Amino acid sequence: MLGLAFLQVFLRDTFHTGIPWGDIAARQLVIWVGFFGAYLATRSNRHFRIDVLTRFLGPRLRLWFNALSDIFAAFVCFFLVIASRTFVTVGLDPGATLFLGIPQTAAAAIVPAGFGLITAQFLLRTIDALGAAIRGVPPGQVV
């Protein structure tokens, strides 16, 4: 992605030309990398989180609060899956191509797929947090 963007700038500045599909490809790659990074951040519990309230809670109550916030995040992401799927299936022209014959709907499919993967991660973390809250141990530990 960076190499393509650098090549585009170099070709434009040096030869006053560029790759016709380079900007579109770079834009699509940014979206794909962004969703992959968001999935990895959610999987490793490094996503954005507002945790001001949890600093004042005890360990067991914090587990319950985290489970509740994870289920809420999964709920929101689930509706984003539905909305983005609707956009891909209804809002885009199914016959349109972006570059090199890649269908526009195939490139945009990362949005519902990415939100689906993030939803699954939040659900798995909710199950882990609820189990930990019930057992009274930190998430990920087996008792």
Residue 143: the pLDDT is 47
What is the residue range of 33's domain? 2-135
| 39 falls within a domain | yes
Number of domains in the chain: 1
Mean pLDDT for each 10-residue chunk of the chain (143 residues)? 91 92 92 96 86 81 88 96 95 89 93 97 92 74 53
| 52 falls within a domain | yes
| 141 falls within a domain | no
| 14 falls within a domain | yes
| 142 falls within a domain | no
**118/135 Cα distance (integer angstroms):** 26
Q: pTM for this one?
A: 0.85
Is the sign of the CA dihedral 110, 76, 86, 96 positive or negative?
negative
| 140 falls within a domain | no
Contact call for residues 84 and 105 (beta carbons, < 8 A): no
| 113 falls within a domain | yes
| 35 falls within a domain | yes
